[in-house]
Structure 1
């Protein structure tokens, strides 16, 4: 987890102690949530990720042994406190300001971006995943947004993780997943970091429905239960 303040970030990574020793090479999964205050389900998914990672589940242990998880569970705490739907205290949609965040107007975003850039410039760290968790008010199921690249091989590799999620989670829809570079999304974390990081890093927006999901072949709406656990199992599968 990462505790955010106006002046600095104090990282508290989730990983085995051996991965955190000075000079150790690290494979990092960076997760953010609640950049839009009204998207409450994103906090439930993020909490599920944290609860699972610190549990005694054998998959959680394998993940901790091989990966370092850095989590910023709430990118817009002032907006959440005020009950805003999309904006911060100062009226900014933070997920449109990744390209040039201000330490004064967008302090949480600025701090997280600086931390990610520091990791990217560290030869001992490989930032494997960036996943930004959101909630969708009109669509059912979970799905992802990814980036489009000119390199066909890189694009195909990026599609592997959503496909694994679809295979392992009945509430995840690959058919609703899309890859784009729409101009209106240029300032989002997924778009900005996808253009900044190298081709060994995978950047996604994970959307979960406000409501529930439709079980394949039926019209029945099913409540969510273990999305975070399944997400992490899919990360493990991509590394085996």
Structure 2
């Protein structure tokens, strides 16, 4: 578990990110790596994000499945992304631990759990895109679309047109669906998907094959989009240097390009809550 701390004394805004719950979806690890590399870098945007937000990252929810070379299941044959409602500490230990931590943070009045993003890879669609939830409240539904729209402005390989919001019954046990019903209306839960093979840049018809570096670049753009969302644009307005072409250059300079877009800063008080880690609470999952 990776935790990036911020200043104390104020309500902590938390972004919780998980990846590789399906072990065969290797692109999710590269996207997650890009997020982590950027957040721990000396880049001024990264420093600003660390000052204002807490990022908690579980980069591999299915380590035994990854070790065994499984495509979708764990060592015991479970699709972990269908067991969020009642994960077993014995059969689904990583899921159980992460869920307990999320519930603990959610019940802490000093913490605002603003985002949950679960990173996956898609075998048939192109580009990066997101899945979100459907809510009866129109305003909440519209607010949920803000982050994907901002990400689309920052990442040329992210497609907002492919982003969709649903409540399919078959997805009821996923992290995005379950936590979308568990958390309050100040929290937003997404599945971030990225193609296994290629993307189409807007305004063109040609496909560009994904590379490890392209996946990590998408991760860096995900991290930078939080700057727009929270309107933390207090850094210099001068253009930043372009993304370095090699890992050696990246490690030494962290000169990432950045395109600024409009943000959305939502302030609201958190209702009193006390959620237990038991499915017997009969929590509605939309």
Distance 2:64 2:53 in 1: 31
Distance 1:92 1:157 in 2: 34
Q: In structure 2, what is the equivalent of residue 111 of structure 1?
A: 97
Of 62, 81, 90, which aligns to 2:67? 81
Q: In structure 2, what is the equivalent of residue 208 of structure 1?
A: 194
Does 1:14 pair with 2:4?
yes
SS in 2 for 1:28: strand
SS in 2 for 1:13: strand
Of 185, 201, 223, which aligns to 1:232? 223
| 23-32 or 132-141: bigger deviation | 23-32
CA drift at 1:212 = 1.9
SS in 2 for 1:123: coil
Of 35, 38, 42, which aligns to 1:52? 38
CA drift at 1:182 = 0.5
Of 66, 73, 80, which aligns to 2:52? 66
Q: Which structure has the larger Rg over C-alpha atoms?
A: 2
Q: How many residues in Structure 1 have an aligned counterpart in Structure 2? A: 226
Please list every run of 5 or more consecutive structure 2 residues that lacks an aligned counterpart in the other structure. 232-286
Question: RMSD across aligned C-alpha pairs, in angstroms?
Answer: 1.0
| 1:133-185 deviation digits (Å, cap 9, x = unpaired) | 00001111000000000000000000111111111211011110000000000
What does 1:131-150 correspond to in 2, within 5 Å? 131-150=117-136
Moved over 6 A (4+): none
Please list every run of 5 or more consecutive structure 1 residues that lacks an aligned counterpart in the other structure. 3-11
Q: In structure 1, what is the equivalent of residue 184 of structure 2?
A: 198
Distance 1:72 1:230 in 2: 19
Does 1:123 pair with 2:113?
no
Of 14, 35, 38, which aligns to 2:24? 38
Distance 2:195 2:91 in 1: 30
Q: In structure 2, what is the equivalent of residue 179 of structure 1?
A: 165
TM-score where L is the length of structure 2:
0.77
| 1:74-115 deviation digits (Å, cap 9, x = unpaired) | 000000000000000000000000000000000000000000
| 188-197 or 162-171: bigger deviation | 162-171
CA drift at 1:228 = 1.1
CA drift at 1:32 = 0.1
Q: In structure 2, what is the equivalent of residue 7 of structure 1?
A: none
CA drift at 1:223 = 4.0
SS in 1 for 2:64: helix
Does 1:29 pair with 2:15?
yes
